[in-house]
Structures are given as C-alpha cells and as structure tokens.
Structure 1
Amino acid sequence: MDLIEIDGFRLAFRRAGTGPPVVFVHGGAQDSRAWTPQLDALSDELTIIAWDEPGAGGSADVPRDFSLADYADSLAGLIRALGISGCTLVGLSWGVTVILELYRRHPTLAGSLVLADGYAGWRGSLGAGEADARLAALRAQPADLFDPTLPGLFAGTPPAEVVPLHEAMTADVRRDSMLTALTAMASADLNEVLPTIQVPTQLVWGALDARSPLSVAREFERRVPGADLAVIPDCGHVSNLQAPEAFNDILRGFLHRHVV
C-alpha cells in the first residue's frame, strides 16, 4: 500500500505495473482489494492504481457530513497528485457514482471511462422508494450486529477463489463510514451527467445483476454518447470478481482501442 495526504486527509492506494495509467474505484463495502484480479492480470502493460476510498481500507475515516462531492474531490486530488490527468477511470457499483460526480466537477481529469454494474446514484437509477428502502435497511441494523454484506452481489454461488477475499473486505468495513457513503449514494441523481460525457466510455454489466439490473445499463447506453455496452452472461453485480477473465478481456480490448 502507498499512502498520500490530500488536503490534510490520508488516502491509501495500491499501484502495480507500468504503462498508461488506469484508476480503479471500488464499490460499497469494499476496498482496493476488490480489484485484485485486475491488478494481477493487467499490470503487464498498464499502470494500475486502485484507491481505498475515504473511510475504507487504509484511508482515514470520514466525518458524517462527508458528501459525494467530497469523495469525488478526494479522487481528483489523488489523480492530480500522481500527475495522471487524462487517465482511464474504472468504477464498479457505487464507484460509478463517484466517477460520474468527478466527471461533473473535474471533467478534464478523465480520458476515458469504464462503468461497471453501476448507478447514476440510487435515486437516479432506482427511484426514490428503492433508494430510501435500501438505506433504511442498513441503518436499522443494530451497531453490535451490523452486517455490511449487501445482498445479491453474485449470481448464484460465489466463485470459491474469491470467497476469502470478499470475507476479508467485509470484516474490515467500518459501519459509520459505509453508512456515510451509502447515504450519499441514496440521495444522488446524476442522470444529467450522462449525456455530457465526451470521452470514450465502456459499460460492463452482469446479465443477472440483481442490484443494478440490466435496465439501468440500457439507460446508461441510451444516455451516454457513443457508449458501448458489454454484457457478461451468468454474472451478477460484482462482475470483476465473478467473471474476472471476461471482465479483463473487455477492459483490455477497450484500452487497446482507445488508450494503449
């Protein structure tokens, strides 16, 4: 792990490989370890940077009023500090929402986007009722019995090789930080950002994603100019973990067309 201070805030990140920079932005109840299959497979020709968002992994805790804009600005600060403006940004789930907010606030930092199994915020992609219900279910859990596991991450039984990784990340989730992030997710509606995207964009979705269904992917495809949608069969919400070879092939192909 590398550590860096951005505006007085400690951020941790993993870095591997050499080549064009690609920044990976993990989902809720995860940290940079979620991208292990991508760091292992793609660092042969890319500089892979996977952050621990504020409040996750080795990064500092966040105050309860930390907003979506604060997450996006922290990511922007990391990109600027590393001198990699114009990089490719890859996000999964909540990470897609963070990237969309970054693009809204700092559009010149992104040279291309890969948006996987994500949302224009829960409110924007699922509607107010579902967004509020998801957040209420998490808030209702007693602190001493808090279970950060989000249902429906995998389609069917998770691959055996990723179970220990997923369990390790889950064990390290900090309740207050996770609730802060998902409170921002529940209130966000970034649909107006989608038609403003002017960089090459690859969409990747699990065909059986139960948390961000394929209808959300189709809406992204419709709204983002020139976006290409790749659907991975028999795959759920965490497509990079459930089908890493297919995910990596899609990502590598996109980068070869637009970056490498």
Structure 2
Amino acid sequence: MSSARTDRTVEVGDLSVAYSEAGEGRPVVLVHGLAEDRSTWAVQQRELTGWRTYAYDLRGLGDTSLGSADGTLDQLVADLVGFVETVTGPAVLVGFSLGGTLVLRAAADRPDLVTRAVVLGTSSVVGRTAAAFYGERIALMESGSAQERAAALHEDTAPAIVTATDRLDEVVAARVRAVGEGGGYVNAASAMASINQSPLTPRLGEIRCPVDVVGASDDSFCPRKAADIMVAALPDSTYHEVPAAGHLMNVDNPDGVTAVLRSILEGTDQT
C-alpha cells in the first residue's frame, strides 16, 4: 500500500513554508539536509502509510521563501519549532545531516514538542576542515555563476553516493533546483559552520526523549565515529545502520532507510 502526497503552504514567522503531507496516523516530521528539499523524502512518504508524515522545505531551499535569513542555527531551529507548533503538534522528528542537527537542537530546546528524535548521517560537531569547506562554498554561492554553482554541487555530491552512481546526474539536477539562486544554501551552510565554534555535543545530555542515531555503512562525511560521539553523550539512544550506502543513504539505499524508519516508528507505536 502506498500513500499520495499532498503539497501545501503555511505561514510560519517570516516564511511561506512549502511542505508535503501523506499517510494517516501519528505525526512524523521529516527534515532534509543541505542542498536538498522535501522531495528527498518522497519514498518514505509513499511507503510509510501508517503515520502522517510531513516533509517541509527549509528556509530559502526548494519552494520555501528565504525571509530575513540571518545564517544562524538558532533561526533554523526556530523555523522547525514554528512548523511543529503550527502544523503538527508534538511529533516524532526525523532529520538527515543538517536536518538531524536541527532535530537534536529542537529536542533539547523544546522537549514538549519532540516525542522522539531520529537523526541520519548527522554530526554534533563540525571540524575545521568542514568549516573551511562551508566558507568556500558560501563564497561560491554568493558570487559564482549558475554553471559554477552546478559544478560545485556535482563535485560535492559524487563522493556521497557509493552504490547508486548511475543516479548521480539526476540527483545533482534535483539539488541544483533545490538550491536555486543559492540564498538558502548560504544561510544553512553558515549555520552549520558555526557548529565548529559552538558544538552541539554539550547539549545532547539535556535531551530526554529517545534518540535513534542512524548511520550508513560507507559514509565518509559522517563516519561511525560521529555517531559514537552522539550515542555516548545522549541519555537514551540506539544506533542503527543502513547497509550499502554512502552519506546520501536515501539515494543509495532508500528501501534500507525506509526499513529502519519503519522499525523505529513501529517500536514507538508499541510503547
């Protein structure tokens, strides 16, 4: 059985937020990563029919407006909290990469809204090399041509896919569309770079809801060490792994991602 997705728009703070909802049941909010939009969760929204899933576009990415972006993690977390308050009420929050970082902060800041947190390909700290990379990409997105932005996205996407390499051009094209003129990418990359100076790890001990940390078997961007750091700091956590997948695990093995999420959500329904 599959579920049709319905596209909607809602006003949250200074934003017009685009989102898709599907399924019936308890609410699950899906938060995408950098250089992506809500379409990255299309498989899960089609297959996870026993829950009401909501996938939204982050500030300035996909079809969501940029608003008065300030390049901070605080603002992106406030956007997520505002979406949950306005649209779903308390929910399971699922985030990939950047989205996972937002989910963890939201769980620490607003325990009343996050019943469970699931983070995929996520790290609670950004090293100096990664921070420098974000700085380079911010400069390119701000001053580069459309062709240069597309070339950079291709360069960054290729090593994140290890099995579905035949889909590279398709995935890059989707990321180019999601990024558009680059404002949302610059905003999100600035927020992620700030974690170099202000790691999220010290806040993890404040999270009281269960947290599921999901890694990919061949993720060179967020390797097992990143997951181990989070699991050690979280009061209530479980590690899961998606096989045959690089960082973009929902490209390499979407069925594996769906299976892990279904297992987690079914366990939640039984508690």
- TM-score relative to the length of structure 2: 0.86
* Percent of pairs with identical residues: 25
Q: CA deviation at 1:259?
A: 2.7
Q: CA deviation at 1:82?
A: 1.6
- The residue aligned with 2:248 is 238
Which amino acid in the other structure matches residue 66 of structure 2?
D
Q: CA deviation at 1:182?
A: 0.6
Q: CA deviation at 1:159?
A: 5.4
Q: CA deviation at 1:83?
A: 4.1
- Contact map agreement 2:163 2:252 (CA 8 A) in 1: no
Q: CA deviation at 1:64?
A: 4.7
- Contact map agreement 1:91 1:114 (CA 8 A) in 2: yes
Q: CA deviation at 1:203?
A: 1.2
Indicate the SS of the match to 2:134: helix
- The residue aligned with 1:118 is 122
Q: CA deviation at 1:176?
A: 2.4
Rounded Cα–Cα distance in structure 2 between residues aligned with 1:221 and 1:119: 11
Which amino acid in the other structure matches residue 97 of structure 2?
S
- Contact map agreement 1:32 1:50 (CA 8 A) in 2: yes
Which amino acid in the other structure matches residue 76 of structure 1?
V
- The residue aligned with 2:132 is 133
- Contact map agreement 2:164 2:251 (CA 8 A) in 1: no
CA shift in 2, pair 1:22/1:159, >3 Å: farther
What are structure 1's unaligned runs of at least 5 residues? none
Rounded Cα–Cα distance in structure 2 between residues aligned with 1:73 and 1:184: 13
Match of 2:175 among 154, 161, 169: 169
Indicate the SS of the match to 1:12: strand
Q: CA deviation at 1:7?
A: 2.1
Q: CA deviation at 1:212?
A: 1.1
Q: CA deviation at 1:233?
A: 2.5
State which drifts further: 230-239 or 13-22.
230-239
Which amino acid in the other structure matches residue 40 of structure 1?
R
- The residue aligned with 2:149 is 146
CA shift in 2, pair 1:108/1:158, >3 Å: farther
Q: CA deviation at 1:197?
A: 1.6
- The residue aligned with 1:197 is 207
Indicate the SS of the match to 1:146: helix
2:210 paired with 1:184: no
- The residue aligned with 2:84 is 79
* Correspondence 1:198-217 to 2 at 5 A: 198-217=208-227
Q: CA deviation at 1:169?
A: 3.1
Indicate the SS of the match to 1:108: coil
Higher helix residue share: 2
User: How many aligned positions are there?
Assistant: 252
Structure 1 moving runs of 4+ over 4 Å: none
Match of 2:22 among 16, 19, 24: 16
Match of 1:106 among 106, 110, 113: 110
Q: CA deviation at 1:63?
A: 3.5
CA shift in 2, pair 1:229/1:107, >3 Å: same
- The residue aligned with 2:4 is none
- The residue aligned with 2:234 is 224
CA shift in 2, pair 1:66/1:257, >3 Å: same
